[in-house]
Amino acid sequence: MKKLILILAFAGLIATAYSQSQNSDEVPTAVSRSFEKSHPNISPVTWSKSGDNYKASYVVDNKAMTVTYNASAKLKETETEISVASLPTLALKYLNDNFPHDYAKKSTKVTSADGKSAYFVNISQVDLAFDSKGKFIQ
């Protein structure tokens, strides 16, 4: 079950690359209000649509963040850019053992609405997924 959730989260990351940009006035009012309620004073926000979901992307403290809602304004997940050093110890060990001479280009933490987390790292043109404890998934 954990692997399925993480695979779906990983698929969500890939879908983001193919999502359609939305004007804020094209986002359902309930979705934009939900975002504004939980993220007051966040501006600017870029909206995109991926399937039936709406993603609000923004930057805080030079870190890219994304919040995903369904069309009913229910929170699905949050994605936060993190430093590689912030990865769990097991993930860092995996990277050091398997990619000792490579540099991770991007790392993110994805947290589902139910609080389960996963980590994703792009290194050597490969996307890697780790569970909440840093165990390699794919």
Q: What CATH number corresponds to the domain at position 115?
A: 3.10.450.360
138 within domain boundaries = no
The helix (H) or strand (E) run that includes residue 89 is helix 89-98
- Structural domain harbouring 124: 2-131
41 within domain boundaries = yes
Secondary structure class of 52 (helix, strand, coil): coil
136 within domain boundaries = no
126 within domain boundaries = yes
Task: Give Rg (Cα) of the chain.
Answer: 15
pLDDT, tens only, 46-91: 999 999 999 999 999 999 999 999 999 999 999 999 999 999 999 9
Secondary structure class of 57 (helix, strand, coil): strand
CB 55, CB 14: distance < 8 Å: no
pLDDT, tens only, 5-46: 444 444 444 444 434 445 555 899 999 999 999 999 999 999
Domain count, the chain: 1
6 within domain boundaries = yes
137 within domain boundaries = no
46 within domain boundaries = yes
Q: Tell me the β-bridge partners of 58.
A: 65
- pTM for the model stands at 0.77
